Chain A
């Protein structure tokens, strides 16, 4: 993985490192024990971590997808605690942290558009807020660490059940050294209108960030959870390996939107899974713009009759980026429906892959699925691949699949230019048009940011 000073990336700044505790580089039993100790965790969690460490150590790297062999696990800091405790006011944060979030525009967005915010800086959540009426309605929005302290039974019931440590090497790693992330509980019938957002920032060099998120949406509830991620540009690698588990209750709806915009020196290896009960709805909106290497396939288990799942995936890979994304839908009940839409754009040597898996188990009669995967390749240095799989064990189902790989259409380009639109503007307009079905699902501010980022990338590419 190569990283370069890329002026298109607005978030590449760094602040001097601060910490009240920093684990030694590398990973061993001692490091895991000290993380658990500092967090004053219950014994079961410490055991869970240590078991997970063993699993991590004996699990091999995936033999498919991007090449991960260059990750040096000994050259990573697995835990860095920046300050003593989470604050409820930006003013109380150290200048450097405050400055970072101000530059990222979080406090501003918080006032206008969000029902609650968590800000994770390196390994810990340093700031948190939630609208008071939500608290009164019984909504829980805590850092995972705080959540474990205050709702140990709830956490114990759900934590690591949907994604077992043995799921894959990075799920095991996260389970061993997790820190930060969120616990969200939405009580029965409560619909949270504005999104809750967590903002992930890596600041320190050689850092691994391993947040852990658990969302439980009770019957008939609704929550939209947003996550944004950025980091400084370093010439050395950073690692981000999050785990997200979501339980969507009967007739509940959860939308989880990610705008992943890590700098190009970050390995982003994330496991995300949701389980949906009867008539519940899960929506993953997964925007991948950043990172050097990403492997991420948000999954949905449709466990109740009439449950619906949706995965909208967008990747834009430029330069040395390898974005290996996609989604999985597992139908395990009758009348379940799923839709996977992936749009990818590769330019300036960028590589995208789409992996889609739909499985329909026996008994899932009258289920429907549709997988659409469209890739756009802007130049001969770039590439796109698709790996769709469908495993269908039930007869009474409708399964559709469509995949296209295309270049910008010459006739369309000529049409626009012949109306007075310059070549670059016309190409940008066409790429924007291509990704529009996903972009329109993003919150407005992110959509604007994405468009300007894309324009900048394309200007550099063509200019």
Chain B
């Protein structure tokens, strides 16, 4: 279980996220919705250990291990994964190389079967309807918004984390890509705990979350089931306080 208790996150001295309590079990999908600037992304980055998003209070337990003092790479090793709204582009690092280094980092002292790694990767990339030549191309460089999002999903599938936060994975995707990505998330969620951060009901239709949380001004102000997204669609966030 990913267990978050009384979590505050600050950027410099400004509190962005306040008093978050959340349990995410393996097999669950949580949706985290909220207006722009409500602290959703800060929450995700704070969980992953971004140096600019400091946890100033509370705790994060990943399978009963407090991860607060751990580096991002150690959190990743324990199974935490965040997909980013705008993942950075690397000019001289290919997608294949990055994934290989990540796999190596996660495996620690264990050896990786290189052949097996590449044959799996070839399948995974085909499933996502990305050209195989993508592996040789510089990571996220000269890629469209949709391709970057698909690349994030490829990382997710390939690196096999346990607890996953997907930050606006649905933006920039056309309807076909959205369905495809939703299908993959659904698949992944069978063995993972997933938090989907989104503004829109659209993707949630396809992944049918177990829980929906509304975040405003850094706090979770409402929690419910999928029906809550209808309220958001009809009446916006103003009704939540």
Contact = CB atoms under 8 A, between A and B. Distances in A.
Interface of A: 409-412, 414-423, 425-426, 429-430, 432-437
A415 B93 contact: no
Interface string B69-103: 00111011100011010011011110001100111
Interface residues of B, number: 30
Nearest to B80: A418
B49 A429 contact: no
Given A430-B93, A432-B93, A421 B105 contact: yes
B155 A415 contact: no
A417 B102 CA distance: 8
B205 interface: no
A361 B209 CA distance: 68
A434 B141 CA distance: 13
Contact of B105 (A420, A433, A436): A420
A36 to B, nearest CB: 49
Given A416-B102, A418-B73, A422-B73, 17 more contacts: A409-B88, A414-B51, A415-B87, A417-B76, A418-B50, A419-B106, A420-B77, A420-B105, A421-B101, A421-B102, A421-B105, A423-B71, A425-B101, A426-B101, A432-B93, A433-B92, A436-B92
Contact of B49 (A415, A418, A432, A436): A418
Contacts of A430: 90, 93
Nearest to A417: B72
A429 B73 CA distance: 15
Contact of B84 (A409, A415, A421, A437): A415
B167 to A, nearest CB: 12
Contact of A417 (B71, B88, B91, B138): B71
A409 B89 CA distance: 11
26 contacts: A410-B51, A411-B88, A412-B88, A412-B90, A415-B87, A415-B88, A416-B101, A417-B71, A417-B72, A417-B73, A418-B76, A418-B82, A419-B159, A420-B159, A421-B73, A426-B101, A429-B93, A429-B97, A430-B93, A432-B92, A433-B92, A434-B91, A434-B92, A435-B92, A436-B91, A436-B92
B91 A433 contact: yes
B88 A429 contact: no
B48 interface: yes
